[in-house]
Chain A
């Protein structure tokens, strides 16, 4: 990383510059070729592997998830009739990919709030689990990169998406997640998590599926293209420099007030103590002075 980089004002990001274009082109070619090589000949056993995947997922599910969500994902009720683990029959692959992919599932302890933590399963295992849960019923599938990845946008599109996405973000998301995606408090000890720096795919899936206490923003609520705009805006929040200097968790005026007191007043009172403090003295007398 260079210490000094010009860039962020126009948010042109890494795609700017002639060499970057060439690199993207080459990468694109490589990727296309590679993907073709990987998938094209395998067409025949794709259904076969899908079944295998579901079966693998089922095995993983029974070991890791069934205790709370039931042997067949039908959910488990407590004796009081409350949800212990909700039914997963119609949550879809996207929900599993989000919950397991961000480490929220499996939970350490049952509760309303599933904190983000270390991911337990490998990508393949997550794919298998998703495939299994998707096979249980309906629900959104894992979105294609085209839907959520802001890198698929051209520069002009990107700017337009960011502006539009910012307005949608402020209308729909900031109330809980704060203007910078730092998160916020919810009733009875709940909280909306920090969403800065989260993988675009997981943001998209979260909007689609409404994890834990979050509302859903289905495609009928916020169309896919507008979701992508929101993700593009979050992307600029991640990328843009702190124009005004360091921040304190971007929590708003509370942290600013603390800094004003601790650094501002604290520092200045420190100076005041120094200014009024007695200087070192000596036992010597000044020659010829009448003290």
Chain B
């Protein structure tokens, strides 16, 4: 058991003996404190507690990738020229020498072939971008699946969702800058998306491109967005995200001594600072290794953008893969009515689906709160199995995402697995609808059965694998009780109640205020509440547990007795004769 001396204090247990350097440092600290009041500001922060768990470091991958993006990006801006003025390439890469291209492409080639370390920095920047968005996504999954988005962290959830959106846009603008064949094809598709927008489509396109596609404005404009506007927003939102993290303090897994009112872990100074700082170097090092060892986007092979050229395997970067996949599997729906054209085959996959997905993500915490009516603060995490419906919702979303994503690589799947691209497309058209439903059902059942398994362990102990035969020929497995720590951790969760609609109406004797709409809303809420909680396994009460343990003790005693007296005594070989 812990003694009070171990509880967080702002200083060590014993005062350090002052040395000369410490004195100098103290002088600096005094100087700074007299001007900035650092003493008060840092009082609580220096030894701020962060709980330790690998899944709490996923967001950090995203954070550090962003820092790497800033560093490598600054290097690239020193050499990159975002101009679409046509020049004749005259650099070191022979196969393109003499070819006309934009200055943007020419300077990208210069970075790659005439600046030492330039190609490394380009590739690191690109790898870091791909990891940045991937890390944001797995961080989002962790936060969602453990219930870390619940009050008071809903706003941070929204900020996170916006970061994911901005990161994706930032990635797309960066992908477009080199003005090579692949990025140009991407920009051309983006032009098609814009033109498909109802009413204002062509105007949006002409304004963005400074005239007709491709014009000579798009890259300078995307560049401004890529290095100033969006990074500025990202930086601001990341700051807000971090400040809220500090204010709310980190969530933690339930366990002995870990409650809703405290946070147990290591202090920022020195342990967490070392771990987080060390992780920065690891993410940076990993990115450098990827950038140095693995080719990414060899623009010299794609050549400059030319609207008449295209290459097989024209794909966006992975994070744009899922809307691109939807674009591939959407049936040819186009409406011609009242003299206008509505391109559903573009609007649904790219103008409607991604914003809708974002809105669903943002709405999830509020939807859950509305169904549960839970207004309490939550700082203890839930295991995914203990929120079966929530977990199943995310499984459905992931399945939808994954299948759409696979559709985005249908041509590569076709050649690598010797399948017909047409068959893959037909299959995925059905699978993106049915797959998520199946995933929802399977995941929900799976979680509930895991809950039952936990309950079993709690009530009857864990399975030892020792099979005992009773004198009357029956077989039973020996169970032993689990440790107190484990048992407590399993029970450290809320009891859930299904919301029923007829509460207020009955009390007042009349319909609740709000009339019919409110009534319907309540009915829906109670249905959803039943879906969320009705099938879940609730933890046992103290009496139930006591009784079960008593029963298990008795059974164990009986088995022990049988082992001592029964045929098992002589081992199984005797039975054979």
Contacts and interface: CB of A to CB of B under 8 A. Distances in A.
Per the CB under 8 Å rule, do A and B touch in the complex?
yes
Contacts of B456: none
B347 interface: no
B301 interface: yes
A240 B93 CA distance: 10
Contact of A187 (B94, B119, B315, B422): B422
Given A188-B422, A257-B321, A179 B301 contact: yes
B415 A184 contact: yes
A252 B275 contact: no
B372 interface: no
Contact of A272 (B61, B296, B408): B61
B295 A159 contact: no
B276 to A, nearest CB: 9
Contacts, number: 213
Q: How large is the interface on B (under 10, 10 to 19, 20 to 34, 35 or more residues)?
A: 35 or more
- Among A189, A264, A275, A290, the one with the most B-chain Cβ atoms within 10 Å of its Cβ is A264
A260 B130 contact: yes
Nearest to B98: A163
Nearest to A11: B94
Interface stretch (B231-239, B304-312, B359-367): B304-312
Contacts of B282: 268, 271
A176 interface: yes
Q: How large is the interface on A (under 10, 10 to 19, 20 to 34, 35 or more residues)?
A: 35 or more
A259 interface: yes
Nearest to B56: A276
A247 B295 contact: yes
Contacts of A53: none
Interface string B50-67: 001111111011000000
Contacts of B286: 264, 267-268, 271
A189 B295 contact: no
B61 A268 contact: yes
A189 B423 contact: yes
Interface in A15-34: none
Given A264-B130, A268-B282, A256 B61 contact: no
B3 interface: yes
B99 A167 contact: yes
B131 interface: yes
> In terms of DSSP, what is the predominant structure of the interface of chain B?
helix
B420 interface: yes
Interface in A179-204: 179-180, 182-189, 191-192
Nearest to B324: A253
Contact of A244 (B94, B294, B408, B410): B294
Contacts of A233: 95
Contact of A253 (B55, B315, B418): B315
Contacts of A247: 294-295, 298
Contacts of B113: 9, 243
Given A246-B295, A290-B5, A174 B58 contact: no
A189 B318 contact: no
B312 A184 contact: yes
A91 to B, nearest CB: 26
A133 B97 CA distance: 43
Nearest to A273: B54
Contacts of A167: 99, 303
Contacts of B302: 179
B32 interface: no
A254 B324 CA distance: 12
Interface string B283-301: 1001100101111111011
A268 B135 contact: yes
Contacts of B245: none
B313 to A, nearest CB: 4
B121 to A, nearest CB: 11
B123 interface: yes
B312 A245 contact: no
A92 to B, nearest CB: 28
Interface string B62-102: 00000000000000000000000000000011111111000
A120 to B, nearest CB: 22
B318 A170 contact: no
Contacts of B418: 189
B396 interface: no
B448 interface: no
A14 B131 CA distance: 40
A219 B421 CA distance: 32
A257 B308 CA distance: 26
Contacts of B94: 9-11, 159, 162-163, 236
Contact of A189 (B3, B131, B138, B420): B420
A185 to B, nearest CB: 4
Interface in B113-160: 113, 119, 123, 127, 130-131, 134-135, 138
Nearest to A253: B315
B223 to A, nearest CB: 21
A264 to B, nearest CB: 4
B131 A243 contact: no
A282 interface: no
Interface in B246-298: 275, 278-279, 282-283, 286-287, 290, 292-298
Contacts of A178: 311-313
Contacts of B309: 170-171, 174-175
Given A184-B313, A245-B295, A251 B412 contact: yes
Nearest to B282: A271
A45 to B, nearest CB: 47
Contact of A265 (B52, B138, B301, B415): B138
Nearest to B423: A189
A188 B283 contact: no
Contact of A243 (B3, B298, B314, B321): B298
Interface string B30-57: 0000000000000000000000111111
A176 B312 contact: yes
A177 interface: yes
A255 B94 CA distance: 27
Contact of B290 (A11, A187, A259): A259
A277 interface: yes
Contact of B409 (A171, A174, A176, A254): A254
Nearest to A176: B312
A254 B320 CA distance: 11
B312 A272 contact: no
A276 B311 contact: no
Contact of B298 (A236, A244, A259, A264): A244
B58 A244 contact: no
A269 interface: yes
Given A189-B423, A290-B3, A246 B293 contact: yes
B179 interface: no
A193 to B, nearest CB: 9
Contacts of B191: none
B317 interface: yes
B182 interface: yes
A261 B318 contact: yes
A185 B302 CA distance: 18
Contacts of A184: 312-313, 411, 415
**Which 5 A-B residue pairs are closest in the complex by CB-CB distance?**
A184-B312, A257-B318, A189-B420, A244-B295, A260-B130
Given A162-B94, A253-B317, A268-B286, 15 more contacts: A175-B312, A183-B312, A243-B300, A244-B296, A245-B293, A245-B294, A247-B294, A247-B298, A251-B313, A253-B316, A265-B134, A268-B282, A272-B58, A273-B54, A275-B54
29 contacts: A162-B95, A167-B99, A174-B312, A178-B311, A178-B313, A179-B313, A180-B301, A184-B313, A184-B411, A184-B415, A186-B421, A189-B414, A192-B312, A244-B123, A245-B123, A245-B294, A247-B295, A250-B301, A251-B412, A252-B412, A253-B318, A254-B313, A257-B130, A264-B130, A264-B134, A264-B287, A269-B54, A271-B279, A273-B54
